[in-house]
Structure 1
Amino acid sequence: MKTAITLTLALLSPINAWAQLSNSPIPDFTATALTGETVSAAQLIGQPTILIVTPSTDAAKSTRLWAEALRKNIDQTRVRIRDVLAIDLPFFMSEEDAIGRAKEKIPARYQDQTWILSESSLESALNIPRDSAKAFVFVLDAQGNVIARVEGDPNDAKIIEVEKAVRSTQ
């Protein structure tokens, strides 16, 4: 019996963590755009935003698929799309090195929309495993409140969920 209760609590913990996060403001953070500009969570206020968080290099493919799908399916005049590369930098690599490597892979037209975050506060606050091989997509309303969360590769159901959340912000 005790094992069943423990297992049930373990299974419910992520759900409860997400329920507490839903409709809460995006946590404060500072990052660097690939253009070199310092950016912060405050820049996500004022317009609905889709935030794609890449917690590891293994999640890069998932992020790329999301960026392509969202840019095809979402009206970017009404909703911003931002990518956050949440990188746990090894001691021998600087943020400038990470930016240089990312610039080689990301088209110039998206470099101001792609941010490097070398601290883990955003991942912790949003309950994102640091070594996850999948991207996490968050829809924020104009006040910066998280109103939807989707993870993994995009598919029709997940894209519809994001589109529905975006419509609810307008």
Structure 2
Amino acid sequence: MKTSITRALLLLVLLAPVGAWSQLSSSPIPDFTATALTGGKVSAAQLIGQPTILIVTPSTDAAKDTRLWVEALRRNIDQSGVRIRDVLAIDLPFFMSEEDAIGKAKEKIPARYFDQTWILNESSLENAFNIPRDSAKAFVFVLNTQGKVIARVEGEPNDAKLSEVEKAVRSTK
């Protein structure tokens, strides 16, 4: 339990502004409910209807990758046709509320991104996408308008991974 508590707290402290997948999903993104840093509830259904880049941050060690991805995507992707969302998939220790987690995240993330950054305190998304809960890598998914995964990369961004994401985004137009 101490490891889980430490991991959750480190993830919250390290948050900052915000290989190819061998097989692509044939079904829409799994159902989940998360909380935006604005406090509003969001669900997987809100990822349908517009192409989306979803960054999943499964651990504190993955926070660096997430920061790098957010910066790279904002520099290289035209956001007028695709939305970018970050899911902080954390296991809250029994003594920490979701409100506590949101408060910690708000200390690190600029207010203009509060509606785009979500806290997810369940493992359905990680399980469905085969993401190790303690992975030191961020996972980036490109979803088409039906919410189907059309690309997946993991780890730190590089030219090849960014190119794969850009190509997937272009294919949704």
Whether the TM-score (by the shorter chain) exceeds 0.5 is yes
Aligned-pair distance for 1:57?
1.3
Aligned-pair distance for 1:92?
1.4
Q: 2:125 aligns with which of 122, 126, 149?
A: 122
The answer as to 2:157 corresponding to 1:154 is yes
Gaps of 5+ in 2: 1-19
Partner of 1:3: none
**Whole-angstrom distance in 1 between the partners of 2:29 and 2:141:** 10
SS of alignment partner, residue 92 of structure 2? coil
Tell me if structure 2 keeps the 8 A contact 1:136–1:151.
yes
The answer as to 2:137 corresponding to 1:138 is no
State the one-letter code of the partner of 1:71. R
Write the deviation string for residues 99-142 of structure 1: whole angstroms up to 9, x where unpaired: 00100111111110000000000000010000001100000000
Aligned-pair distance for 1:91?
1.3
Partner of 1:104: 107
| 1:19-168 paired onto structure 2 within 5 Å | 19=23, 21-168=24-171
SS of alignment partner, residue 168 of structure 2? helix
**Whole-angstrom distance in 2 between the partners of 1:18 and 1:115:** 27
State the one-letter code of the partner of 1:125. A
Partner of 1:4: none
Aligned-pair distance for 1:28?
0.5
Tell me if structure 2 keeps the 8 A contact 1:18–1:127.
no
State the one-letter code of the partner of 1:46. G
**Whole-angstrom distance in 2 between the partners of 1:24 and 1:51:** 16
Aligned-pair distance for 1:146?
0.5
Partner of 2:11: none
SS of alignment partner, residue 28 of structure 1? coil
Gaps of 5+ in 1: 1-14
Aligned-pair distance for 1:18?
5.1
Aligned-pair distance for 1:37?
0.4
State the one-letter code of the partner of 1:49. T
Aligned-pair distance for 1:159?
0.3
Bigger share in helix: 1
State the one-letter code of the partner of 1:89. L
SS of alignment partner, residue 114 of structure 2? helix
Larger radius of gyration: 1
Percent identity between matched residues is: 84
